[in-house]
Amino acid sequence: MIVRILGEGQFNLPGAAIDELNDIDNRMVEAVESEDRDALHSLLLEMESLVREKGEPIPLDELVESDLILPETDLTLEEAESIFVGEGLLPG
């Protein structure tokens, strides 16, 4: 899965890490539903860290379509409400 971190670049995230990413995504949905701003911010940072640590950076001169674009870590709860509803960023 190709994941873009805005302002930083793209990463090729191996399949083994997608379940972890989905778990964080599911917890983000719960944080938004409970209006927990601190948890949301922490989970956004956790998601970015996971992608950086387990993903392989894609060279900047290589054009690849992203499967997922992570939101900014300063995302407000109000902005998150439109993104993290239902299944969140990742279906399933």
CA dihedral 45, 42, 32, 6 (to 10 degrees): -20
User: How confident is the model over 69-90, as a mean pLDDT?
Assistant: 76
Identify the band that residue 54 occupies on the pLDDT scale cut at 50, 70 and 90. Answer: very high
pLDDT tens digits, residue range 57-74? Answer: 999 899 899 999 898 888
Position 90 scores a pLDDT of 61
Buried b (16+ CB within 10 A) or exposed e, 55-66: beebeeeeeeee
Position 88 scores a pLDDT of 62
Identify the band that residue 91 occupies on the pLDDT scale cut at 50, 70 and 90. Answer: low
Identify the band that residue 56 occupies on the pLDDT scale cut at 50, 70 and 90. Answer: very high
